[in-house]
Structure 1
Amino acid sequence: MIGVSGCALIGRQRSSALCDPLGRLLFCGETRPGSMHDITQARTAGLVDLLLNAPLDVQILADAGYQGLDTDTGGAVITPRPRPRKRQTSLPPSVIAAHEAARKRHSSQRIRVEHAIGHLKNWRILGRYHGRRESFDTTIRAIAGLLSDHQHTGRSENTTRRRRAPPATPHVR
C-alpha cells in the first residue's frame, strides 16, 4: 500500500509525494502552480498511465483531492468516500456512523503520508525558500532524495548532528 498526497510547499508551488506504508518518502513529483488541482497534477505527471501498467497488488491511498482517479486507474487508487451532501439529512444514523468510520480508517492509514510531508517541510530551505522559482523544482527533489536516503539507511536525526567539542582549557578572565 502506497500513500499519495499533494502538498503545498512554498507560496504558490505544490508537489505530489508518494510514501510507503512505513511513511518513508519514495517519490516527490515536479512542482506545479498552487492553483492546479491534485487530480489534474496527477494526470499531467503521468501517474494514471503508470498505475494502469502497475502490478495488480499495488494500491495507493490518496486524499480527497484525488477522488475520481480510482476510476481512471482501474481501482488502484483508494480515496475516501465523499461526504454526504447537506441536503441528505434524512440518512439513517447507522449509515452516517458507518460512513464516518470508513473515513476515519482511511485517514488513520494515510497519516503516515502526512508525516512524511511534514518531515520534508522540516528542512529549513523548504520552510522559507528565498531562491528563484525556476530552481525550486531542483531544490525540492534534492531534499527529497536526501530525506529518502536518510530514512532508508536507518539514520536518525540525532546521529547526523555534530556535537560541540568541550573547550580544551577553561577560559580565564
Structure 2
Amino acid sequence: MRRRALIVDHGCVVGNATRAAIISNRKITGLSIDVITELVAEVGPLWHERHQARLVSRPRKRAVGAGAKHRLVFVDRLLATLVHLRHGTTHDVLACWFGVERSTITRAIGEVRPLLAERGCTISPGVRLRTLAAVVDYLGASGKTGIVDGTEIRARRPAVGRKGRDAFISGKSKQNAVKAMVVTDEDGRVLFCSPTRPGSCADITHARQLGLVKLLADGPAVEILSDAGYQGLGAQTGGRAVTPPHRKFKKNAPDWYEEMYERQRKAHSSRRIRVEHGIAHPKNWRALARHHGHREHMSDTVQAIASLLSHQQTTDLASTQQT
C-alpha cells in the first residue's frame, strides 16, 4: 500500500512520529503523500547536488564529507518548508518540533524554497510551465482561454528613511503590499505566477514589464481575459487581450446604453471569475495571507506555493479521471 510506504532519503527511513504525522495528514502540508513522495524524489537530488557544489566551491581544510553530519536530513528540511508555507509556522516553533536550532530551520527553508519555486506550474503529469512564454505557447496549442489578474499580498513596509519605502503602498488597498500577476486557464487552474513587485506598481505596468504584450502580439493566436486594470492591452495586442467594455457615456447615458453596458460587463465578468478562484487557493496558504518575513523572499514564496498547489491539483484531477 503506497500510502503506508515509508519514504527513504539516502538510507534515512522516515518512521518517527513527527515525520509520520506530517506526511499522513494532508491538513498539515496541504499535499497528499503521493505528491510529497514525488517531491522527495525530484527535489532531493537537486538539493544534494547544490549542497555538494557549495562544499567544493571554497578552499577547505577538510575533505568534502568530513566533519559533523546533518542532523536534519533532506526529508525533514522539505517537510519543515512545507509546514512553514502552509501555516506560516515560525522558525522557532519548527526548530522545537524537529529538535534543532532555529538557524538550521532558517537555512533549510532558504535552501528548499527556491528549488520548489523553480519547478513551475504542473498542468499534467510530467509537464510544467515555468515561463510566461511557455504559458502563451500552451494556450495557443491547446486552444484554451487564459485569464490574467494581479493579486496583492500584505508585507512589511521598509524602515523609515530607507529608499523606496513609499513604493510598497498600494493605491488600491491602501496598505503595504507586494503584487504578483497570476495566469489561469478557463477552469481556474494556475498556469503561471510571476515574481513580485512593490504594491504601487499598476497591473498593466507589471504585465508590460513581464513581456506579456510582446508575447501576445508576436505569439500564437490566443485569447486572454483581464479586468479593467489592463485596459489598453487589447489595442496593443491586436485584440488578443480582452478587457471589459469601455464606458463611452460618463454622464446622462441613455437607458438603452446602460442596459447594454451592464449586460456586456456581466458577461465578461462571468467568464473571467475563474481567475479569482485560482487566486483564492494559494491565499489559503498562510505564508501568502500576510507575509511577516523578508520581502526579498516573497517571489520564491509565491512561486513555490503556486508550484505545489498546481502539482496537487493535477494529481487530484488525474485520480478523479481514473475512478
- What TM-score do you get using the length of structure 2 for normalisation? 0.46
- Partner residue of 1:68? 232
Cα deviation digits, residues 8-40 of structure 1 (max 9, x gap):
122320000000011000000110011011110
- Partner residue of 1:43? 208
How far the C-alpha of 1:72 sits from its partner, in A, is: 1.0
- Partner residue of 2:268? 106
SS of structure 1 residue aligned to 2:234: helix
- Structure 1: how far apart are the matches of 2:285 and 2:248? 38
How far the C-alpha of 1:107 sits from its partner, in A, is: 0.6
Moved over 3 A (4+): 83-86
- Structure 2: how far apart are the matches of 1:96 and 1:128? 39
- Larger proportion of helix: 2
- Partner residue of 1:22? 187
Residue range with higher mean Cα deviation, 76-85 or 108-117: 76-85
- Partner residue of 2:151? 7
Cα deviation digits, residues 132-159 of structure 1 (max 9, x gap):
100111111000111111222226xxxx
- Structure 1: how far apart are the matches of 2:311 and 2:300? 17
- Partner residue of 2:313? 151
Flag the structure with more relative contact order, 1 or 2, with Cα contacts below 8 A and sequence separation at least 6.
1
- Structure 2: how far apart are the matches of 1:152 and 1:64? 30
How far the C-alpha of 1:74 sits from its partner, in A, is: 1.1
- Structure 2: how far apart are the matches of 1:77 and 1:144? 23
Tell me which of 214, 217, 232 is aligned to 1:52: 217
SS of structure 2 residue aligned to 1:154: helix
CA RMSD, 1 decimal: 1.5
Contact 2:153 / 2:291 at 8 angstroms: preserved in 1? no
Tell me which of 119, 128, 136 is aligned to 2:281: 119
SS of structure 2 residue aligned to 1:17: strand
SS of structure 1 residue aligned to 2:279: helix
Cα deviation digits, residues 54-105 of structure 1 (max 9, x gap):
212x10000100000111111110000133554x21x321111011000001
2:223 aligned partner, one-letter code:
Q
- Structure 2: how far apart are the matches of 1:48 and 1:144? 23
2:244 aligned partner, one-letter code:
P
- Partner residue of 1:130? 292
Cα deviation digits, residues 103-128 of structure 1 (max 9, x gap):
00111111100111111111111112
- What TM-score do you get using the length of structure 1 for normalisation? 0.83
Q: Indicate how the Cα distance of structure 1 residues 83 and 32 shifts in structure 2: closer, same or farther if over 3 A, else same.
A: same
SS of structure 2 residue aligned to 1:153: helix
How far the C-alpha of 1:129 sits from its partner, in A, is: 1.5
Tell me which of 81, 92, 101 is aligned to 2:245: 81
2:238 aligned partner, one-letter code:
G
- Partner residue of 1:140? 302
- Structure 1: how far apart are the matches of 2:263 and 2:186? 20
Aligned length: 153
- Partner residue of 2:91? none
